[in-house]
Structure formats: C-alpha cells, structure tokens
Amino acid sequence: MIFSTGPSFISLKVVIFLLELVFSLTVLLTLYVVYLRGAQTIYERKRKNEIAKWEPLLLDYINGSLKLSEVEREMRHADRDLLGEMLIEYSQDIRGQALERMIELWKQLRFDEYSFKKIKSRYSWYRAYGATLLGIMRDSSATPLLIELLKDKSPLVTFSAARALARIGIKKELGHIIGIVAKSKRWSEDQFAEIILDFGQDIAEDLVELCEDDNVPLNRLAFIIDVLGFMRFQPAYEALAKLAEKGEKETRIRAIKALGELSRPESSPLLLGLLGGESWEIRSQAAKALGKIGDDGAIPGLVKALDDRIWWVRYNAAVALTKIGEKGLSALWSVAENAESERARKVAQHVFEQRVSYAESHVI
C-alpha cells in the first residue's frame, strides 16, 4: 500500500513508472508551450513588419494611385500567408471599386488558386475556409464548385458555401435551397440567421412560402417571420396575420412584431383584439405594434391597456401612445394627470419622464 508496510495491490515499480510517465508528459507539454509561445512571438513580430511594409502600398493601390502591375511586382516576394491574411482583412470592409481592385490583386497574386485548393481538401474546416475566401473575394468562377459544396456532409461547409454564393450574388436561384435548409437542423440558429440576412430581399417570396409550411421547425419559423418584418416585405402581410391570430405563442408574438414593422393600418383591428388576449407577451407585443402603426383608432384600446396587471403591457401601451402623435400624447398626459388607477398613472408619468430626459440628453 502507498502509505503502509502491509500488503499492496500497487507496487513501487508501478508508481515509479507512473511518475516517470507523468513527468515526461509534463516536460513535453512545457516544451510545447514554450515552442508555441516562441512561434507566436515570431509570427506577431513578422506580421507587424509585413503590415508596416505592405499596408501603405495596398492603400495606395486601392485608392488608384498605384497600378496593379507595380503592386504585384513588389508583393511577389512577400510572405504569402501573412499577405493573404492582410488582403482578406481589408476586403471585408471595402465595397465598390476598391473591392474590385482588391479582387484583381488577389487573382493576380494567385490567391484564388489557394482558395480552390482549399475547397477540395479532405478536411472540412479547410473546405469551409476556402469557400469563405471565395465568398469574400466574390469569385464567381467558383460558383459551380460552391453549389456542389451545398451538398457537403459538414454543416459548416454548406454554411460557408451558401454564404459565399450570397456574396457572389447567386441568390434567387437558391431560394429553394434555403427552404430545404430551413427544415433541417444542420445549421445552428445563428448560422441560419446570417444566411437569411445575407440573401435578404431576393428570397423573401420563398420565405413567405415557408411561413405556410408546417414542416419548418418553430425556431426557424420564428426567425423567418422576424426577417420578413425587418425587410418590411408587404406581400407577407396575409401570412403574418394568419400566424398572429392563432398557433404557438412564440410564433404569434413574432408575427405580431412583424405586423408592427409592416405598419399597415388594416392590422389595427386584429391587434386591438389581441390587446385583450390571455398571454401578457401577446398583449405587450400587440401594444408595441399598434404604436408602430400609429393609427389614431388604437388610442382607446391602448389607454385601456395602461391599466393592465402586467407592467410590460402597461409600459408598451404608454410608449405606443407617444408614437401616435399629438392625440396619443394628449391621451397619455390625461392618464398621467387624472387616471383613477394608480398603476396607469405611474406608468404614464414614467414614460413622460423618459421622454424628457431623452430629449435633454440629446440637446446636451
């Protein structure tokens, strides 16, 4: 035994072996950490030098002060990895002619070949990375390969490929693919969201069709509804109104919110009806949406909602009244001064006070 002199199931030799093993592992790990630190330090230093060297040249080229051939000649002997990173970093935030010039340089320096090589890699992350690069550089010659990648078994690769295609501009043709993806769980919610936002208005009609498809998972549907509202896609009105009236609570809440974004006066009767609903979240969103629509006819309903038992409903109703112009403000002021209900008075006063301090801070 470890501590005693009695019989033991573990011999001294085993313990010594364990000690040697663990010690060796520790030494190896330590050396590896030191190596990584060294490598990182060298990389950082090199990166700093390369950026200092190439950045002025790159900026002059993007601005048009230097020709492609001049820049290409200078950069031919640069560290490829670092230069590639620099070009990608700069390309993320530029548009128009500047981006076109960057793409030309990228191709001239044969970085496109690098990307093509990556998307054929057997490692999924490299395929995804390659697709991302092709997207950033808007390389339309990669379109057939990227469409092929949409069938890849790795969700990250399909995500990168879809994103790249969206950046290149191949959107309308892929609306049906978004539909397929919407029904599967291959992408996480944030990935799905980014793709939908990337594709934007071009797939709005496909999104409306998805609203009517029972096979779309609820969390995806919720986001699709949000996006239609965000885009203020008017043809989605009927589908959204249907979703707002009945169904799963979260879906209804999103649909009500989207109706608010669409701001159609014909939604008012529906939303006023929802102000008396059972769920406080629905009442709250209905109040908000009525504020966005700005219809005078909603004022009595909103005033009534100032006495709701849930604070959020009262608060959103009060804020909504401030958005319905003079009549709404006047109604709210009347409540703040004269209402019998203390909670209605309080929330009205709070919202007025908020408006005043907002106005003051903006004047400042």
Partner 1 sequence: MKILVYTFNHFILFYFLVLNLTYIFLTLSAFVFIRRYIKLIKIVELRKIFQSTFFKPISVISPAFNEEETIAESVKSLLHLSYPEHEVIVVNDGSTDGTLSTLKERYRLNKAFRDFDSPLKTALVRAVYQSEEYPNLVVIDKENGGKADALNAGINISRYPLVCCVDADSLLDSEALMRVSRPFLEDSSTVAAGGVVRVANECVVRAGKVMEPRLPKNKWATFQIVEYLRAFLAGRISWAVFGGLLIVSGAFGLFKRQTVIECGGYRTNTVGEDMELIVRIHKIQRKKKRKYKIAFIPDPICWTEVPEDRRTLARQRARWQRGLMDSLLMNKEMLFNPRFGIIGLIVMPFFFVFEMFGPLIEFGGYIILTISAILHLINIDFVLLFFLVAVVLGTMHSISSMLLEEFSFYRFPGFRNLFKLIFYSILENFGYRQIMSWWRMRGILQYISGDRSWGKMARKGFTTKKT
148 binding partner 1? (CB under 8 A): no
Q: Pick between residue 132 and residue 268 the one whose CB is nearest to partner 1.
A: 132
In angstroms, the CA 189 to CA 176 distance is 18
197 binding partner 1? (CB under 8 A): yes
Q: How far is the CB of 6 from partner 1 (least distance, A)?
A: 6
Q: How far is the CB of 229 from partner 1 (least distance, A)?
A: 9
Helix (H, G, I), strand (E, B) or coil at 277: coil
- Interacting stretch for partner 1, rule CB under 8 A, among 51-59, 73-81, 141-149, 305-313? 305-313
- Sites for partner 1 among residues 21-40 (CB under 8 A): 22-23, 25-26, 29-30, 32-34, 36-38, 40
* Options 91, 158, 160, 285; binder of partner 1; rule CB under 8 A: 160
Q: How far is the CB of 297 from partner 1 (least distance, A)?
A: 27
Which two three-digit tokens encode residue 305?
């909602």
Which two three-digit tokens encode residue 267?
């939604």
In angstroms, the CA 253 to CA 354 distance is 26
Q: Contact letters (x/-) for partner 1, 43-82, by CB under 8 A?
A: -x--------------------------------------
Which two three-digit tokens encode residue 152?
């890849």
In angstroms, the CA 67 to CA 44 distance is 29
Spell out a b/e string for 9-40, using b for 16 or more CB atoms within 10 Å of the CB, else e: eeeeeeeeeeeeeeeeeeeeeeeeeeeeeeee
Q: Pick between residue 20 and residue 238 the one whose CB is nearest to partner 1.
A: 20
Helix (H, G, I), strand (E, B) or coil at 314: helix
* Options 54, 61, 129, 233; binder of partner 1; rule CB under 8 A: 129
In angstroms, the CA 284 to CA 292 distance is 13
Look at the alpha carbons of 142, 143, 144, 150 in this order and tell me if their dihedral is positive or negative.
Answer: positive
Nearest Cα neighbor of 84 from 57, 105, 53, 61 is 105
Helix (H, G, I), strand (E, B) or coil at 272: helix
Which two three-digit tokens encode residue 180?
């397929």
- Interacting stretch for partner 1, rule CB under 8 A, among 70-78, 140-148, 233-241, 350-358? 350-358
- Interacting residues with partner 1 (CB under 8 A): 1-6, 9-10, 12, 15-16, 18-19, 22-23, 25-26, 29-30, 32-34, 36-38, 40-41, 44, 125, 128-129, 132, 156, 159-160, 188-191, 193-194, 197-198, 219, 222-223, 226-227, 230, 310-312, 315, 343, 346-347, 349-350, 353, 357-358, 360-361, 364
